[in-house]
Amino acid sequence: MDKRFQLQFTNKVDQELLRDAIAQWGISKRALTAIKFDGGAILVNGEERNVRHRLAEGDDVTIIFPVEEASEGLIPVQGELAVVYEDEAVLLVDKPAFMSSIPSREHPNNTLANLVYGYFEQQQHASTVHIVTRLDRDTSGLMLIAKHRHIHHLMSEQQKKGQIHREYEAVAEGIIVQDQQSIIAPIGRKDTSIIEREVRPDGQFAHTDVTVLTRKNNMTHIRLKLHTGRTHQIRVHMAYIGHPLVGDELYGGTHTFIDRQALHCRYIEFEHPLTKERVHFESKLPEEISTLIY
């Protein structure tokens, strides 16, 4: 069985150069070089051709990428993985709270990346783990993973253009009076910490939209839409307006009702890298968060 990732399409323009036809798939020069020298191939009607070949209308084109090697040092771990959606290009999972996205000195093994790598091994899927959207360790919800380097490249381009939309739900301390508001405030690292962030004039531009869903027990259930992706953005912005997330001790919340920040990635929408269709998925709010306000 050929474990190499492949793209296949039928050419629609007579006398089009092969390199122009494959450009629609966003293949980088680096990827083309790897295809040429590292065990890939470009086939037209089953015959290998170079990028200067002229296509006829109706020609079948197959792009075969080299076998991808897994990251050195990433340890495969077998365990429960909540798969929301999967196909040959992407994997969407529901990450539980208290699980890091990637290994670190404090959490070298039992991270989502380790679990996904173990899952890939079970499937005999030859790829490293390409995380597209990352979550903090104590944040739960949807995380998007690309199943090949080229797909990761395409999804990263979407991120740069703001075409991957994520919405979060959270519970903030206190009653937020405004039904809707936009928080536009720059975020940077706090001088006294390597972890903590703060709103500061020399920080990076950051924009969060906040919509109130319910108010109860001196807490406010909110929906948040990110227009930028700064580290700890939601947590910092909510603390900045005087309503830190329930359970977020780092930014002024308390652990009285929940032992982690009450934050969940509930919704994601993106353009599928192969079909080019907009797709969206949702995740149920965890019980420990929903019981705070219902």
Query: What pLDDT, in 10s, does the model give residues 63-111?
Result: 999 888 777 778 899 999 999 999 999 999 999 999 999 888 777 788 9
Report helix, strand and coil shares of the chain as percent, to nearest 5. Answer: 20, 30, 50
pLDDT digits (tens, 9 = 90+) for 113-170: 999 999 998 888 878 899 999 999 999 999 999 999 999 999 999 998 989 999 999 9
Sequence-distant (≥ 6) Cβ neighbours of residue 29 within 8 angstroms: none
pLDDT digits (tens, 9 = 90+) for 212-239: 999 999 999 999 999 998 999 999 999 9
For domain 167-265, which CATH number applies: 2.40.50.100, 3.90.1150.10, 3.30.2350.10, 3.40.190.10?
3.30.2350.10
pLDDT of residue 2: 63
The token pair at 131 is 């995380």
With cut-offs at 50, 70 and 90, classify the pLDDT of residue 12.
confident
Q: What is the mean pLDDT of the chain?
A: 92
Active site residues per annotation = 136
CA distance 113 to 130: 9
CA distance 165 to 227: 8
How far is residue 32 from each of residues 16, 50, 166, measured CA to CA in Å?
18, 10, 31
How far is residue 35 from each of residues 41, 60, 102, 200, 239, measured CA to CA in Å?
6, 18, 28, 45, 48
pLDDT at 1 over 70: no
* Percent of residues, the chain, with pLDDT higher than 70: 99
Q: How many CB atoms lie within 10 A of CB 88?
A: 12
pLDDT of residue 285: 95
The token pair at 176 is 């937020």
The structure's pTM equals 0.89
What is the sign, positive or negative, of the torsion defined by CA atoms of 221, 226, 230, 236?
A: negative
How far is residue 190 from each of residues 46, 49, 138, 218, 242, measured CA to CA in Å?
57, 54, 20, 29, 18
Q: What is the CATH number of domain 6-64?
A: 3.10.290
pLDDT of residue 4: 82
CA distance 103 to 45: 43
User: Minimal CA–CA distance to 23: which of 11, 14, 37, 36?
Assistant: 11
Listed by start position, the domains of the chain span 6-64, 167-265
Return the residue matching tokens 């962030």: 197
